[in-house]
């Protein structure tokens, strides 16, 4: 009986692991001429997401700013610098003028490429333990069988986020870094922002855009 319980617990842990949320950088690119970001450089973080994802925008900017600052970068949020309507209905010339006025050296954009919902069927569970102590009594046996032997399957809805971060040097307005990621079923916008920012910053360290010593 003890061995059966161990196997059932192991199976449940595997199911939970398979269904848990995850975020990973699926691809990234760095301009070979780009050097590491300097501590004195000022980086503006701009999240571009649909209006209905307003909470995600704020969280994304805040968490990316925090992650960059932990690596010694002088990062700022576009919402904090320019407000929630930053650069809306503004042409390129006017936007670049505002950026220069704030002494911004680089701009990092975070764009939601797609958000997909998908249904997944979770099959029911059938268990068998011939040495169960409930075999000796009718009601104990019936009740145990009714509640434990069969659990019906069900559908669950999962959400996938596809995000892209680009880093631009404002001296020549060229891209120096780009990373695409996929996030599976994050528990909240706040948690997605935290994990995503950490993953991208870790990749920037790998690409030698950020120091690994901080």
Query: 180-193, pLDDT tens digit by residue?
Result: 999 988 888 899 99
Distance of CA 95 to the CA centre of its chain: 29
Given a cut of 80, whether residue 214 has pLDDT beyond it is: no
CB atoms within 10 A of CB 181: 22
Residue 127 DSSP label: -
Mean pLDDT comparison of 15-19, 154-158, 171-175, highest-scoring range = 171-175
Residue 153 belongs to a domain: yes
Model pLDDT for residues 134-150, shown as the tens digit of each residue? 445 666 656 555 555 55
> Mean pLDDT across the stretch 76-88?
87
Tokens of residue 143, six digits: 């009740």
Residue 156 belongs to a domain: yes
Residue 15 belongs to a domain: no
Q: What is the pLDDT of residue 120?
A: 67
Q: How far apart are the C-alpha atoms of 29 and 206, rounded to whole Å?
A: 11
Residue 115 belongs to a domain: yes
**Number of domains comprising the chain:** 1
Residue 166 belongs to a domain: yes
Model pLDDT for residues 43-57, shown as the tens digit of each residue? 999 998 887 776 888
Residue 188 belongs to a domain: yes
Residue 95 belongs to a domain: yes
Distance of CA 207 to the CA centre of its chain: 19
Q: What is the pLDDT of residue 90?
A: 81
CATH (domain of 195): 3.40.50
Residue 143's domain comprises 25-214
Residue 182 belongs to a domain: yes
């Amino acid at each position: 009986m003890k061995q059966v319980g161990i196997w059932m617990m192991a199976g449940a842990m595997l199911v939970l692991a398979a269904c848990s949320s995850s975020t990973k950088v699926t691809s990234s690119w760095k301009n070979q001429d780009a050097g590491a970001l300097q501590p004195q450089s000022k980086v503006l973080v701009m999240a571009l997401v649909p209006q209905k994802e307003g909470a995600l925008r704020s969280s994304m900017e805040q968490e990316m700013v925090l992650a960059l600052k932990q690596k010694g970068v002088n990062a700022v949020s576009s919402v904090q610098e320019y407000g929630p309507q930053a650069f809306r209905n503004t042409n390129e010339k006017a936007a670049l003028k505002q950026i220069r006025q704030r002494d911004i050296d680089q701009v990092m954009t975070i764009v939601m490429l797609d958000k997909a919902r998908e249904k997944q069927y979770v099959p029911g569970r059938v268990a068998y333990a011939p040495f169960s102590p409930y075999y000796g009594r009718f009601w104990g046996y019936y009740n145990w069988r009714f509640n434990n032997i069969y659990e019906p399957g069900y559908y669950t809805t999962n959400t996938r986020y596809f995000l892209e971060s680009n880093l631009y040097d404002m001296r020549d307005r060229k891209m120096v870094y780009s990373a695409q990621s996929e996030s599976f079923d994050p528990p909240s916008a706040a948690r997605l922002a935290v994990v995503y920012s950490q993953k991208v910053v870790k990749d920037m360290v790998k690409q030698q855009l950020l120091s690994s010593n901080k």
